[in-house]
Amino acid sequence: MNAIADRYRQHADAFERRIAAAHPDQWADPSPCEKWTARDVVDHIIMMHGAMLRPVGRELSPAPSDPLGAFQAARTDVEALLDDPTMATTESPTPSGPMTAQDHVNQVLIDDLILHGWDLAKALRQDPTIDQAEVRRLWSANTAIPAEMMAKFRTPGAFGPGIEVLGPEVQVSPDAPLQDRLIGFIGRDPYWTHR
């Protein structure tokens, strides 16, 4: 098993625990992502699992319709990809340029699991705390993106129909906790609550 596969499993486990802890009547609740419910957040993450598979000619397997079962099926597909040394190291074109399947998972899907894990936690009224080492890493990575690329990230549809990478930045006090500044930077209100 490789380090990226281990890292993916760690964050997929955390996201899965959030799903498993939800009450059935919470899936229609709003999330901090404008126009998305809690279920929409999970559906987006499942769609992103499929986006990791397509460059290497794979698709998501048929899955149950419930959020937990659907996520578990998608993660099984990605784990199979990461556990296959040939497929994991196959280089393919991606929206960010050519990269191996495992690097694509590492640079895109894992970050999505972390940041949308915050969205899901807020939607489901769970603890939204992100590991501080990940907060520092994500802050450094996101604030280092060149302005031209950042503008593209903030443009809906720039990477394909229905894909919105980052929303408009939400201004947060410069002395706010780093997690709050990170969440604002990617286009969420860190102080969002259910009305």
Nearest to 26 by CA among 12, 10, 42, 45: 42
Residues 6+ apart with CB under 8 A from 89: 100, 101, 102
Mean pLDDT of the region 137-158: 87
Domain 1-127 coded CATH 1.20.120.450: yes
Give just the sign of the alpha carbon dihedral 162, 108, 27, 24. Answer: positive
Burial 36-46 (b: 16+ CB within 10 A, else e): bbbbbbbebbb
Mean pLDDT of the region 2-27: 97
Q: Which helix (H) or strand (E) holds 12?
A: helix 3-20
Q: How much is the pLDDT for 162?
A: 66
- Checking if the pLDDT of 30 tops 60, the result is yes
The predicted model scores a pTM of 0.93
Tokens of 31: 């999330």
Query: Is residue 154 very low, low, confident or very high in pLDDT (cuts 50, 70, 90)?
Result: confident
95 contacts 160 by C-beta, under 8 angstroms: yes
Mean pLDDT of the region 128-140: 97
Domain boundaries, the chain: 1-127, 129-195
Residue 58: alpha-carbon gap to chain centroid:
20
Report the phi/psi class of residue 95: left, alpha or beta, with left for phi > 0 and alpha for psi in -120 to 50.
alpha
**CA 57 to each of CA 20, 110, 162, 190: distance values in angstroms, whole numbers, following the listed order:** 30, 20, 21, 38
Nearest to 121 by CA among 43, 28, 32: 32
Query: Is residue 84 very low, low, confident or very high in pLDDT (cuts 50, 70, 90)?
Result: very high
